[in-house]
A and B are shown apart, each in its own frame.
Chain A
Amino acid sequence: MRDILKRVSNLLFLPPEAVAGVFRLELIGAEELYLENHKGILEYSDTEVVLHGGDRILRICGKHLSLCTMTDSEVLLRGEFEQISFAAV
């Protein structure tokens, strides 16, 4: 279903995060990370944060990671990011 919605959004030139509900990751330098359309936090420590992105698991590793703010759809992380990896759910 999510794949169909992604294709439709591509065809109609619509943002997929709005139509298919996929997460949107915004990285400002290596110090600030903004994630939209997340599904929650799975793990959290000052060296590693694991976030549920819907169809992907997002793993962020680094130093002094801190959760600046969090709402039901947005997360703002700060710290020194070293590695960002994705894994299938």
Chain B
Amino acid sequence: MSSLIRLLQGTVTLRICGAELERFLNLCAECQIRFWNHTKHTFDEMGLTIAARDFFRLPPIVRKTRCRVHLCSRHGLPFLLRKVRPVLAIGVILFVLIAWVMSGFLWSIEITGADAASHDLIRSALAENGVKPGAYTKRLDLERVRNQILIDLPEFIYLNINLHGSHADVAVKKRIRPPEIVRENGFANIVAKEGGVIERITVYEGTPEVSPGDLVVPGQLLANGYMTGRSGVSVPTHARADVYARTWQTKRILFPLEAEQITLTGDTYRKYTLVFGKKRIKILQKGSIPEHECDRIIKKTQLSLPGGLTLPLYLELETAQVCRLDRALLPLPYAITFGTQALEDSLVLSDTDRLLDLRFSATEQNGTVELEMIAECVKQIGVEQ
């Protein structure tokens, strides 16, 4: 601890020559000048170390003892600071200047009040209007940007941009549309949107025109909008009914047996780029990346300081894997499996629909395979007309 304090205060190593060295030491002790690392070289010469601030208290002692003092070396922080002072001053000025200049730019944008899916949309809209990392904040007209974005993106009802130094907080609120009003006052019939065999029919309003077991075709009247009372008078109403029918949906797909196959050659190229606004600086590139026939993966990472402060700097890593396109013949079972899966995926069923059966058939001809799917379902087929 004492050596650290000495280092901070600064020390000087002296060589004292003279006949009265003992007296010199006694006078130093009397004047409260602490010394250490004392070495006696010869009978009239010795070396010692004192604190730098005590050096200027030595002349009266030197005069009294008629000794000569030689300064051998200087150590400690004050001398170090004296050495590096110009460099330090330039460093401090540069730091302040850089901090001042950088504080004028927008470094990060935080969006609150919207789902993650909308963030990219808002970010791109902000960027189009000049609010993006790297933008000079003094030139931003936030009021104009806010109004422009609200015009461009009608799905947002509220948007506010608060600028805190080099950070922008963007608060948004999505517009909640009123539910669509169903007009139930007018006259309407229920007709079939597709053909099938009626499974069950429940009429809430109107007169049923079909019964379970009936075969219906698309557009056929299922429930009449006219209701006949006990008096025999027909009253026009807005018919409402749930009509479930067994339907058979047929889908076909033509699948080529010859397909393009991508084969990776094993050659990989990596390119690191530092992105600052529109400026792109290539840092490290191993080989030149070929323009075509490459599987490219671009990973962009925003750089941030350990405290969490994000910088307007991005590190982009582009990995390119060279590939070759070959024409290959697909095995028939594989093609059937692939096509069956594609057909199954194309089948759209609502929550009320029920799938009863799926039948597939395949026919191979002229290098292609034709797959047919018949889906048997129970569906709600009634629509208002």
Interface of A with B (CB < 8 Å)? Answer: 40-46, 66-72
Instruction: Please indicate the chain A residues that have their CB under 8 angstroms from the CB of B28 in the complex.
Output: 70
Chain B interface size, as a band, is: 10 to 19
Kindly state the separation between the CA atoms of A66 and B37 in the bound complex, as whole angstroms.
8
Could you tell me the distance between the alpha carbons of A40 and B32 in the complex, rounded to whole angstroms? 13
Contact of B22 among A41, A66, A68 (CB under 8 A): A41
- Residue ID in chain A nearest B37 by CB atoms: A68
Among B30, B34, B38, residue most surrounded by chain A Cβ atoms (within 10 Å): B38
Given contacts A45-B40, A46-B40, contact A67 B25 (CB under 8 A): yes
Given contacts A68-B36, A70-B35, contact A44 B30 (CB under 8 A): no
Determine the residue in chain B with the shortest Cβ distance to A38: B29
When the two chains form the complex, which single residue of A42, A45, A71 contacts B34, counting CB atoms closer than 8 Å?
A71
Q: Which of B22, B30, B34, B43 contacts A69 (CB 8 A)?
A: B34
Q: In the assembly, what is the distance between CA of A69 and CA of B36, in Å?
A: 5
Task: Please measure, in the bound complex, the distance between the C-alpha atom of A42 and the C-alpha atom of B21, giving whole angstroms.
Answer: 10
| Cα separation A77 to B261 with both chains bound (whole Å) | 89
Instruction: Contact check, B32 vs A41: say whether CB atoms are below 8 A apart.
Output: no
- Given A42-B22, A70-B28, A71-B34, 19 more A-B residue pairs with CB atoms under 8 Å apart are A40-B26, A41-B22, A41-B25, A43-B22, A44-B21, A45-B40, A45-B43, A66-B39, A66-B40, A67-B25, A68-B36, A69-B34, A69-B36, A69-B38, A70-B29, A70-B38, A71-B32, A72-B29, A72-B32
CB distance from A24 to the nearest CB of B (A): 16
23 cross-chain CB contacts under 8 A: A40-B22, A40-B26, A41-B22, A41-B25, A43-B22, A44-B21, A44-B22, A44-B25, A45-B40, A45-B43, A66-B39, A67-B38, A69-B34, A69-B35, A69-B36, A69-B38, A70-B28, A70-B34, A70-B35, A71-B32, A71-B34, A72-B31, A72-B32
